[in-house]
């Protein structure tokens, strides 16, 4: 009976210590976080994204100012890819 009580006490102590450490680490992590505000430039563009009439500068203006460097890189690459697709469409005679 004494061994059962000792094991139970140690397991409970370990559980409480783990819960306390988790709570403290989450509080510290939350205090270190900066609030993220994403604001896209407001422009009235009547052209759909990826449309033939879309342009590279217009596509680049749709990238939010609060985008992370990785998000910005992917968005810029997508805009450049779409621009090359649009250029090949414009090169077709008879359009």
Distance (Å, whole) CA 65 – CA 55: 19
pLDDT in tens, the chain (95 residues): 788 889 899 888 988 888 888 887 777 666 666 665 555 555 555 666 666 677 888 888 888 888 999 999 999 999 899 888 888 877 888 76
Distance (Å, whole) CA 77 – CA 63: 11
Please give the full DSSP string across 18-64, using - where no structure is assigned. HHHHHHHHHHHHHHHPPPP----------S-TT-TT--HHHHHHTS-
pLDDT at 76: 92
pLDDT at 77: 93
């Amino acid at each position: 009976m004494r061994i059962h009580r000792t094991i139970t006490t140690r397991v409970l102590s370990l559980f409480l210590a783990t819960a306390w450490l988790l709570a403290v680490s989450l509080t510290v992590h939350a205090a270190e976080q900066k609030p993220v505000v994403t604001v896209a430039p407001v422009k009235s563009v009547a052209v759909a994204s990826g449309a033939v009439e879309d342009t590279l500068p217009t596509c680049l203006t749709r990238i939010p100012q609060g985008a992370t460097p990785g998000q910005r890189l992917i968005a810029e690459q997508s805009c450049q890819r779409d621009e090359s697709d649009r250029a090949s469409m414009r090169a077709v005679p008879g359009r």
